[in-house]
Structure 1
Amino acid sequence: MGIERNVSKPKGKVYSESKKNRRRQKKVTVVQKLYETCKEVFADCGPGVVPSSDKIEQLKAVLDTMTEVDVGLRPNMPFFKAATTEQFPRITYLHLYDCEKFSIGIFCLPPTGVIPLHNHPGMTVFSKLLFGTMHIKSYDWVDNGPAGTPLHAYPLDDHRQGARLAKVKVDSEFTAPCNTSILYPADGGNMHCFTARTPCAVLDVLGPPYCDPEGRHCQYYLDSPFAKFSVPSVALPEEEKDSYAWLEDRDRPKEVTVVGAVYSGPKIVEK
């Protein structure tokens, strides 16, 4: 009988500890997992340094499964309702986390809300549409023209400073659930624009984040169809012209209003 008691106690103890471990595991939220994955993925990265392909897939796998529920959002929240008195719906930004290596945040857009065409200098960007339908248009710079001729900024007329040629990377509507989109420092659609067709939320991971002192500031652009301007040294076949555009630097559009709000979803515990 004594042996049986000695044997049974360890079994009970092992079972109890196993249950505790399972409970601990269940407490790890998707947001916490995202943070810990970002720490690992961007640990050895910096401006212009892209994570390895396996690291990219590791982070993408976490983001691909995420929905608004994981970050405590609901489509009927005030963030996603456009005020009837506003000509240009305001966009709300929810800050989750940032450090010198990466940042995590969520843009909440009401219908017709627009994040204008802008760039991500030296960054690798993961964008995950959590819910809703959004139109995304993105571009990459064209560095060499016909016969390898280097392209620079061209003067377009007497009143405009100039523009660079860019190639359309994406021009499509996306409806959640959909895969995460990834932008790289030099390709993948580093300059992009979001237009909300319905209320929607998009989670952005930037590695590294914007930093004005280090030269990573957000530059906005005005895009014009390729055929709108005639540049003698740049010629394209007629069937390809719709795939290119002229991009000009511009100040941040005054009609765009982005306001910050407190993120109230699952918290990130720094480690």
Structure 2
Amino acid sequence: MAGADVGLRPNMPYFKSIRYDRPLTITYLRLHECDKFSIGIFCLPPSAVIPLHDHPGMTVFSKLLFGEMHIKSYDWVDNLPAESTPLAKPLDNGLGDSTTGIRLAEVKMNSAFRAPCKTSILYPADGGNMHCFTAKTACAVLDVLGPPYCDPEGRHCQYYYDFPFSNISVPEEQKGDYAWLKEREKPDDLTVVGALYKGPKMVK
């Protein structure tokens, strides 16, 4: 599946950086939404970022339709033995004196991808449920979420700061990349606007 299958091309206005004195605008095209799942396409101009966020209780299929994108993702660390607990939290990294909302996470992916490439699958507790997208070129990403976000049912999109942290005493075969994630409000410079999907009609 590629951008042409949904009527998208990199030279369309969605993928252009029109103004340089304001945050880049990301466009979301809604294809379908019901109480079981949602389907949409994110259109990102070069250098646009969808900041680190989560998908609580959700499974997510993400397909890069065209372009090159860097993806960084994390899963929570819940099963470190007591003797492997990190020695300190990153209070010297701009977090202030409070550790509220801070949890240890393990990096699952930190790589660049260029279409065509395989679909990524994020599970509720595995596969990189918290992730960040950075467009290296104009990009279109098809997302299928099941079930979709729903605040009353506890599926609220939470954003995070990430702070690398490597001082963790675990057996050599268990070593990996870790970070502290701290909850944050939706970033002020994140601008996502909705637009009408004009591609081929979806058929059940």
Within 5 Å, which residues of 2 pair with 1:50-69? 66-69=1-4
Q: Determine whether 1:213 maps to 2:152.
A: yes
Distance 1:236 1:189, change over 3 A: same
> Is the CA contact 1:136–1:192 (under 8 Å) kept in the aligned structure 2?
yes
Counterparts of 2:114 and 2:22 in 1: how far apart (Å)?
Answer: 25
Counterparts of 2:101 and 2:50 in 1: how far apart (Å)?
Answer: 23
Q: Determine whether 1:114 maps to 2:49.
A: yes
Which residue of the partner structure matches residue 200 of structure 1? 139
Counterparts of 1:244 and 1:254 in 2: how far apart (Å)?
Answer: 26
Structure having the higher Rg: 1
Deviations 1:206-237 (A, max 9, x none): 0100001111010001000114xx7xxx6357
Structure showing the higher strand proportion among its residues: 2
Within 5 Å, which residues of 2 pair with 1:184-199? 184-199=123-138
> Is the CA contact 1:155–1:163 (under 8 Å) kept in the aligned structure 2?
no
Which residue of the partner structure matches residue 102 of structure 2? 163
Task: Report the secondary structure of 1:213's partner residue.
Answer: helix
Distance 1:222 1:241, change over 3 A: farther
Counterparts of 2:5 and 2:132 in 1: how far apart (Å)?
Answer: 25
TM-score normalized by the length of structure 1:
0.67
Counterparts of 1:148 and 1:174 in 2: how far apart (Å)?
Answer: 37
The structural deviation recorded for 1:240 is 7.7
> Is the CA contact 2:28–2:41 (under 8 Å) kept in the aligned structure 1?
yes
The structural deviation recorded for 1:259 is 0.4
The structural deviation recorded for 1:85 is 2.7
> Is the CA contact 2:83–2:169 (under 8 Å) kept in the aligned structure 1?
no
Q: Determine whether 1:267 maps to 2:201.
A: yes
State the percentage of identical aligned residues: 70
> Is the CA contact 2:90–2:163 (under 8 Å) kept in the aligned structure 1?
no
> What is the identity, as a one-letter code, of the residue corresponding to 2:159?
Y
Q: Determine whether 1:252 maps to 2:191.
A: no
Counterparts of 1:103 and 1:247 in 2: how far apart (Å)?
Answer: 27
RCO (CA 8 Å, sep 6+): is it higher in 1 or 2? 2
> Is the CA contact 1:133–1:199 (under 8 Å) kept in the aligned structure 2?
yes
Which residue of the partner structure matches residue 119 of structure 2? 180
Task: Report the secondary structure of 1:121's partner residue.
Answer: coil
Which residue of the partner structure matches residue 89 of structure 1? 24
Runs of 5+ consecutive residues of structure 1 not aligned to the other structure: 1-65
The structural deviation recorded for 1:86 is 3.7
The structural deviation recorded for 1:84 is 3.3
| Aligned residues: CA RMSD | 2.4
Within 5 Å, which residues of 2 pair with 1:71-90? 71-90=6-25
TM-score normalized by the length of structure 2:
0.89
